[in-house]
A and B are shown apart, each in its own frame.
Chain A
Amino acid sequence: AGGGGDGAGGGDGGGDKPYIALVSKGFQHQFWQAVKQGAEQAAEEFDVEITFEGPDTEADVDQQLQQLQTALDKGPDAIGFAALDSQAAGPYLQQAQDAGIPVIAFDSGVDSDIPVTTAATDNKAAAAEAAKHMVELVGDTGKIALVVHDQTSVTGIDRRDGFVEYIEENAPGIEIVDIQYGGGDQLKSTDLAKAILQANPDLKGIYGSNEGSAIGVVNAVTELGLEGKLTVIGFDSGQAQIDAITDGLMAGAITQNPVGIGYETVKAAVEALDGKELPKTIDTGFFWYDATNIDDPEIQAVLYK
């Protein structure tokens, strides 16, 4: 193997396996752990060395770019990168290109020609799918609210806008009364969802835009004893969300394929190193799951616990 001249024998691993550095948007949350898991699977399968890092929150653009910088300094053979802000990352990507290190974008697109391919989910489309199910469940009229995990990050914005735009275009009778942001913190999201429910007793549905937000909404509903009184729609998976769906507390949720994202990223990197042609995007897809299909093997495969 051995990449182009520069990256040979990076400090890691010692052996002459190719080294691929992945810089994601996070590492503490389960979603990212699932991505990491997929990446590790692929690493084993293709016999490459990987590292996986991400900032503490999706607002930490600065921290992420420092991690990217360090990753570059380690002289990897390829880089996987999930940009928090692709414009801000421009100079670093340029640096990678100059050093002849192929970059694989993952999770969300990078606004640049440098990445050889992008393994991602279309978050906007996924959120629109969630909205579609919301409309199906609550009908054409009524009030709903959103608990979103982040106000400024790409995923936060896409998952909010995809949902809102779908409602505006397809269900003008539905009123979005409130959108609040809980940082993906379960406790904050719980208290925040409770306040929304207090302020709007006639609310028909709430959508939580990631695992922490969705669980917060479920907690709020149970703490206020409103089980079954309104429709909760979530995003991502995790044991708590799976349970909420099985128990009927949550109508259903959108899941991406985080394991698949991680896997495809590493696989694409390996192929790029082997000089193979890659498609411009690798759509890792998303799925709607609810009590009816949660046990399907195809769904089970993309859920993480």
Chain B
Amino acid sequence: MTPATTTKTALLHLSGVSKGFPGVQALDDVRLELRHGEVLAVVGENGAGKSTLMKLLAGIYTPDAGTFRLNGEEFSIEGPRHAQELGIAIIHQEFNLMPDLTVAQNIFIGREPRSGGVFLDDRALNRSAQELFDRLGLTIDPAERVEHLTVARQQMVEIAKALSFNAKVLIMDEPTAALNDAEVEVLFELIQRFRTPDTGVIYISHRMDELARISDRITVLRDGRYIDTLETATSTVGEVISLMVGRTITGEQRPGQVQRSPDVVLSVAGLSTKKLLKNVGFELHRGEILGFAGLMGAGRTELARAIVGADPIESGRITVDGREVQIGNPAEAARLGIGYLSEDRKRLGVVLEQDVATNIVLSTLPAFTSKVGFMRDGAIIRTARDFIGRLRIKTPSANQLVKNLSGGNQQKVVIAKWLAKDCDILIFDEPTRGIDVGAKDEIYALLEELARQGKSIIMISSELPEVLRMSHRIAVMCEGRLNAVLDNAEATQEIVMDYATRFSAEGTVS
């Protein structure tokens, strides 16, 4: 892992880059240097300007100011196509896939193989995609339509697409946010293989542990400004974090032995769905954080959706506070005090075209109706501002459209929505996806506070350390089955992974 630090001219060099949006100066005189053959991590809090900087490089936005140099030569980017031609490939933070097209069609959009110059050759297309996946060690059906893929698999498609360009500069904007450890390994393997003396990788992530493993240097942004660049080898996580947030963050700790309440607030028995789930049963106690671990496609999301009535169940019993219930849709679940935060932020979480305040109160709107039936907008704004402050959501105002927020701040908006609702049972599916380290800690604290108040939380997460840090108990799923429910004290990464990979004897994913 010795980067070619001696090279005089950097592979990519940016200086004096600025970009403003109405009400926000997203980037202010930022510089960045990517050397040949290196992986440069770019870190910063939510809304620091990381994605904006990358979108400039991808030709999506045009900068207000700044010079770009590629191998010492100044250039400007006219658009996405031009960026591709220059050898810059990007994996976007928010997916940019065409859900109605197949995986292979998505990957090769704009570069379709044709037979005789006229007709599309989908067989060749699928073959190329298959070759690509084989090379990358992925098992995805190239002919599957993207809308049928889980978020994690969509992420893999994005990654494969970017790698298929034979680019010189590969930009990855939080590629692991939706992946779990096994898939992260695959990705790192890919990055190492991609890296040659001619290429370089810009890697954005909020997972600090990854930085040491993959990056050579780390550039820190804060509030749209360049702060510093560190050599990974000679710096500590604590240093990086304090540069990012301007203060220090206390280390992680696991919950101690908690006195579990005997009250069962939610009990699930024999739950099966047509697609995946097989005979899942568990109990959730009052004041408990129950973590759900598992590999991609283990069925955790499907279980959550089945419980809140978003998907039909085939058999099984759900009991809330001792009463058996039939939950036909999420509205009924909400009435029973069960809230579900989806892992698919863009599609199922936020209402992108509405403002922050509207999103925060979306689940609680009826409570903001006055006696005569009018909405109490003052109260809505007050509540929204309260959460904007508590979760430190970076937005110029409560009236900003959510689509103009950074990814992490959008996630905070979704969390705020469910905190506002005051549900007794919260099912959080990948709640910290894309959230910066500082904010993560605050969210952990919030969840713990909720649990102390007697709320019960199911926390689905692909970040095993997070599950271990937060959960009183840990449920491990595999292939739609619930393989184990462990006490925090007895759980280690190894034990959890062991249960998560105990595939059924037949080894079939029906």
Direct contact of A and B (CB under 8 A): no
